[in-house]
Amino acid sequence: MSKKFNALEDLKQVRQAIEARAKEEAQRKAQEAKAARRTQSDKDLFTRAVGEVRLLNSTTKAELKKRPPPPLPIQKQRDEQAVLAEAISDEFDVSTLLDTDEQLSYRRAGIGPDVVRKLRRIDWRIQREIDLHGLRTDDARQALSTFIRKAHREGLRCVRVVHGKGLGSPGKAPVLKSRVHSWLVQKQEVLAFVQARPAEGGAGALIVLLKPSPGSPPSAGQ
């Protein structure tokens, strides 16, 4: 009799456990349904407030402006390169490049002796001149370099450079004269030069032939 009673008691406990679990499940579902209704209500409220909502394509990316690279000092670099290209040295030995005939002369490689003869005869009209008298060496070098560069850019072909005979220098040595020879040989714009005739300055001046500038006719300045 006691065994039967124990079996009934066990069944009763099992049934109570099942009922309790079912009640908990019902409560859970009721809470989920309530939460779903609240979420739907919130969605409906949002839709009524802002209108129709369309989902964006998830693959769409915003195009952000790229930060420009730091500016390069191109003009400064060009200026520095130009200065280096135009630099002329006082240490350059020009003696081996000069023709020491009856009148000192110079012609760049590839320039024939007929060019020097024409230059002595002033076949090219002298278009401009610079007088370096009284200038210190550094000032004379800068002035001559600027003068030659500007004359070439303007398309001039023949110019006169007055350097003096050096009679007023210490020991009466023609220091500036020899420096001018060296500086002119180092200038790429210079094709040739000759000592001026007495009427154009004689031993105190040079007649200089420049390269044609880009775009100028070959006979410019003649």
> Concatenated DSSP letters for 80-147?
HHHHHHH---SS---GGGSEESSSEEEE-TT--HHHHHHHHTT-SPP-EEEE-TT--HHHHHHHHHHH
The b-or-e profile of 132-151 (16+ CB within 10 A means b, else e) is beebeeeebbeebbebbeeb
Given a cut of 90, is residue 61 above it in pLDDT?
A: no
pLDDT digits (tens, 9 = 90+) for 36-60: 777 777 777 667 676 666 766 666 6
pLDDT digits (tens, 9 = 90+) for 127-181: 999 999 889 999 999 999 999 999 999 999 999 999 988 665 554 556 788 899 9
Contact (CB, 8 A) for 210 and 129: no
Give the residue from 129, 142, 220, 217 showing the smallest Cα distance to 179. 142
